[in-house]
Amino acid sequence: MTDVVDTAADLGVEGNSRITGVLGAILLLVLAVEGVTIWDVRSMLSLHVFIGFFVIPIVCVKLATTSYRAFHYYRGTAAFRRKGPPHPVLRILAPVVIVSTVSMLLFGVVTLAVGPNHREPWLTLHQGSFIVWLVATAVHVLGHLFETWKLTRDEVLGKPPVPRRGTRLLVVGVGVAVGLALGIASLKWTGAWTNARFGHDG
């Protein structure tokens, strides 16, 4: 009986890892495109804003899955203990990645909402948190790149099978759908910024 329980628990841990990996892969691809828009935010503002809102629900779900793993690991849940912790450097960086990600998105939304005439200090805070996020996330991505690719491949192919794959894919699908809805809705806010100057000289 113990072996059966352990096997079920380990599969649950694997399921958690897989949905986290898939969400990470989506964020990696989408934020790579967002990075391109940074080179010329003015001409690609609509795309920049769309992606910024699109990733919000996906980030929220990923934070939930990683927090779930961390909670059970530090709580001493056997299956999560067997899975083990991330590399020490990645564990140290995790809070920085989380705080900078939330700050970057939050200040970005506030900046857009208040409009170009009231953009400070929100724009500066958005840009500052982006710099911190970029450095921390670059290390985070490199540390998880191979694992993310493997987990995403296994989940997409369903091999080896892990229970509740349909539920996990549904959660990811809902996150993407909500992100698309938010991204489309956000575009109505970009009008006031079309002719605005970015930075501190306008």
Burial of residue 185 (CB within 10 Å: 0-12, 13-18, 19+) is exposed
pLDDT for 116 equals 86
Distance CA 60, CA 102 (A): 9
> pTM of this prediction?
0.89
DSSP symbols for 21-70: HHHHHHHHHHHHHHHHHHTTTTTTHHHHHHHHHHHHHHHHHHHHHHHHHH
pLDDT for 202 equals 39
Tell me the two tokens of residue 137: 């996330």
pLDDT digits (tens, 9 = 90+) for 54-110: 999 999 999 999 999 999 999 999 999 998 888 888 899 999 999 999 999 999 999
Q: Is 159 left (phi over 0), alpha (psi -120 to 50) or beta?
A: beta
- Whether the link from the prior residue into 160 is cis, omega within 30° of 0, is yes
In 3D space, the residue among 175, 168, 24, 14 whose CA is nearest the CA of residue 90 turns out to be 24
pLDDT tens by residue, the chain, 202 residues: 334 445 888 899 999 999 999 999 999 999 999 999 998 888 899 999 999 999 999 999 999 999 999 999 999 999 999 988 888 888 999 999 999 999 999 999 999 999 888 889 999 999 999 999 999 999 999 999 999 999 999 999 998 999 999 999 999 999 999 999 999 999 888 877 766 654 444 3
* Cβ–Cβ < 8 Å for 134, 96: no
Q: What is the DSSP letter of 162?
A: -
pLDDT for 1 equals 36
Tell me the two tokens of residue 98: 């989380």
pLDDT for 53 equals 97
* Cβ–Cβ < 8 Å for 23, 72: no
pLDDT for 196 equals 61
- Phi and psi at residue 151, in whole multiples of 5°? -65, -40
Which residues are CB-contacts of 95 (< 8 A; sequence separation ≥ 6)?
Answer: none
In 3D space, the residue among 100, 81, 72, 94 whose CA is nearest the CA of residue 144 turns out to be 94
